[in-house]
Chain A
Amino acid sequence: MADELLSVEDLHVEFERGDSKVYAVNGASFSVGPGETLGIVGESGSGKSVSVLSVMGLLRGSGQVTGGTAMFMGKDLLKLRRRQLEDIRGRDIGMIFQDPMSSLNPTMRIGDQIMEGMLSHQYTSRKGAFNRTLQLLDEVGIPEGKARFRSYPHEFSGGMRQRVMIAMAVACEPQLLIADEPTTALDVTVQTQILVLLRQLQLKGRMGIILITHDFGVATNVCDRIIVMYAGKVMESAPLVDFLARPAHPYTVGLKGSVIEVGTKAHQLRAIPGMATALTEPPRACPFAERCQLAADRCLEELPPLRPLGLGHYVACHRAEEVLAAAGTTVGAQVGGPVGGQVGGQVGGQVAQGVTARA
Chain B
Amino acid sequence: MPDEPILKVDGVSKHFKVGGRTLRAVERVSFDLGAGETLGIVGESGSGKSTLGRLVLRLLEADEGRVVFQGEDLAKLASNELRSRRRDMQIIFQDPLASLNPRMTVGAAIEDAMVVQKIGRSASERRHRTEGLLERVGLQPSAVDAYPFELSGGQQQRVGIARALSLGPKLVVCDEPLSALDVSVQVQIIQLLQELQRELGITYLFISHNLGVVQLISDTVVVLYLGEVVEQAGADELFERPQHPYTQALMRSVLKVPEELEKRAPLVALAGEMPSPLSPPSGCPYHPRCPLAMDRCKEEKPLLRTVSEGHMAACHKAGEAVTMGSAPAVLVTPSELAAS
Contact = CB atoms under 8 A, between A and B. Distances in A.
A/B contact in complex, CB under 8 angstroms = yes
B87 to A, nearest CB: 29
B274 interface: yes
Given A220-B264, A260-B216, A196 B332 contact: yes
B99 interface: no
A193 B332 CA distance: 11
Interface string B247-267: 001110111111111001101
A69 to B, nearest CB: 27
Contacts of B44: 187-189
Interface string B187-200: 11011001000000
Interface in A245-279: 245, 254-256, 258-266, 269-273, 275-276
A202 interface: yes
B215 to A, nearest CB: 6
A203 B271 CA distance: 20
A56 B52 CA distance: 43
A43 interface: yes
Interface in B32-75: 44-45
A188 B210 CA distance: 9
Given A196-B330, A264-B212, A214 B182 contact: yes
B321 interface: no
Given A222-B267, A262-B212, A341-B338, A241 B183 contact: no
Given A222-B267, A261-B212, A272-B184, A187 B45 contact: yes
A202 B340 contact: yes
B273 A159 contact: yes
Interface string A215-230: 1111011101000000
Interface string A175-189: 000000000000111
Contacts of A244: 257-261
A131 interface: no
Contacts of A255: 183-184
B187 A218 contact: no
Interface hub of A197, A221, A244, A245 (most chain B Cβ within 10 A): A221
Interface in B105-163: 152-155
A264 B235 CA distance: 12
Contacts of A240: 261
B239 interface: yes
B142 to A, nearest CB: 17
A74 interface: no
A199 B267 contact: yes
A306 B98 CA distance: 40
Contacts of A215: 255
A192 interface: yes
Contacts of A158: 45
B14 interface: no
B194 A266 contact: yes
Interface band, chain A: 35 or more
Contacts of B267: 192, 195-196, 199, 221-222
Contacts of B77: none
Given A261-B212, A262-B215, A263-B239, A193 B270 contact: yes
A141 to B, nearest CB: 9
Given A43-B183, A187-B209, A192-B269, A241 B257 contact: no
A292 to B, nearest CB: 12
Contacts of A276: 182
A226 to B, nearest CB: 11
A43 B250 contact: no
A341 B262 CA distance: 12
A202 B336 CA distance: 11
Given A192-B253, A199-B332, A222-B267, A43 B260 contact: no
A340 interface: yes
A157 B273 contact: yes
A174 B313 CA distance: 47
A103 interface: no
A162 B325 CA distance: 28
B306 interface: no
Contacts of A334: none
Interface string B210-253: 11110110000000000000000000000100000000011101
B337 interface: yes
A51 B215 CA distance: 36
A262 B332 contact: no
Contact of A259 (B183, B239, B249, B338): B183
A192 B273 contact: no
B23 interface: no
Contacts of B185: 43, 275
Nearest to A221: B255
Given A214-B183, A260-B210, A275-B152, A187 B264 contact: no
A43 B154 CA distance: 12
A275 to B, nearest CB: 5
A352 to B, nearest CB: 23
A342 B250 CA distance: 30
A74 to B, nearest CB: 24
B182 A261 contact: no
B35 to A, nearest CB: 21
The 7 closest A-B pairs by CB, nearest first: A217-B255, A261-B212, A43-B182, A187-B44, A272-B184, A271-B187, A193-B269
Given A188-B211, A189-B249, 7 more contacts: A157-B273, A189-B273, A192-B270, A199-B337, A221-B255, A244-B257, A261-B212
5 contacts: A188-B253, A193-B330, A199-B337, A221-B255, A273-B188
Interface of A: 35, 43-44, 157-160, 187-193, 195-197, 199-200, 202-203, 206, 214-218, 220-222, 224, 240-241, 244-245, 254-256, 258-266, 269-273, 275-276, 340-343
Interface of B: 44-45, 152-155, 182-188, 190-191, 194, 209-213, 215-216, 239, 249-251, 253-261, 264-265, 267-271, 273-274, 330, 332, 336-338, 340
